Amino acid sequence: MMSKTIVTCALTGAQQGKETNPALPEQPDEIIHQGLEAWRAGAAILHLHARDAAGKATGDVEIFRRIVTGLRDAGCDAVLNLTTGGAVAGLGIDERLRVLSELQPEIASFSVGGGSMLGRFDATEGQWKGDRFVQLFRSNEELERVARLFKANGVRPELEVYHSGMLNNIAALHALGVLNEPLLVNIVMGIPGECLKPSVKNLLYVVEQLPAGAQWLVSAIGARNHFRMLGAVLAMGGHVRVGLEDNVYLNRGQLAASNGEIVTKAVHLIHELGAEPASPAETREILRLQT
């Protein structure tokens, strides 16, 4: 069982929209449709954000509920991972956390840090692009409060790590006993700014710092990184995340037609490298999720 690879598909995210790829799903019916395609293609976990009628990120629980209900009514047994993110889109913490108590998903994302500076310097134009600071949490005490909220609602946190300093926060929360075992850690690489660069050396460093028994996956952001890191992840015993939230391309210069198409490619690569995707039932066993 432990040799199985869990495939997560991140369907839409909180930032880019159809201007980057017309296939990126925004409205609930689009997200449900593409979620079903991704599940049928081999994704055992679906990572879900919600958008409002204008396509902007929202923490509206009723929109999340509509997506969850639509997937379940269609027979989808994938593990659903609802976001508590959206700080990058300006959503407040209370709005982002409502899904925990009101929907109690099996998994929800939990960015375990104070925040990150984003942006890159464009040497051609001589200026910074996307330059901003995204605040996540204001204190260790607030991090602990949110971790306890996850635990009280029976929701497994997917611990989002953007840089190595966040590993200290995971270690502290783990020592406090507020994180259920096994830990589930998402190592996010490739976002311009204060984020890990996507390299095998950086990945090895982070994985070696994780508490014993932790399960981990990698979100390699951008077309140059998305599939390139997959081999290293599998060789090191990790799990895989793909999807239009992280990358809108299938191949160089070729926009993906759907999340299902991206998952199909990832599953093909996993098989070619001698691994086997986990089913939703196997995923629940690996992560010891409550049923």
Six-digit token string for 225: 């990184």
pLDDT at 144 over 50: yes
pLDDT in tens, 27-49: 999 999 999 999 999 999 999 99
From the list 244, 281, 280, the residue with the least C-alpha distance to 265 is: 244
pLDDT in tens, 46-88: 999 999 999 999 999 999 999 999 999 999 999 999 999 887 8
- Give, in order, the Cα–Cα distances in Å from 187 to each of 86, 198, 217, 238: 17, 10, 6, 10
- Domain residue ranges in the chain: 4-287
- Give, in order, the Cα–Cα distances in Å from 57 to each of 34, 89, 136, 193: 18, 7, 16, 21
ω into 182 cis (within 30 of 0): yes
Strands, E, within the chain: which ranges?
4-5, 7-10, 45-48, 50-51, 57-58, 79-82, 107-111, 115-122, 127-135, 156-161, 184-189, 215-220, 239-242, 249-251, 254-255, 276-277
Angle at which helix 28-41 crosses helix 61-73, to 10 degrees, equals 40
pLDDT in tens, 242-280: 999 999 999 999 999 999 999 999 999 999 999 999 999
Asked whether the beta carbons of 143 and 151 are under 8 A apart, the reply is no
CATH 1.10.760.10 is held by the domain 4-287? no
Does the model's pTM come out above 0.85? yes
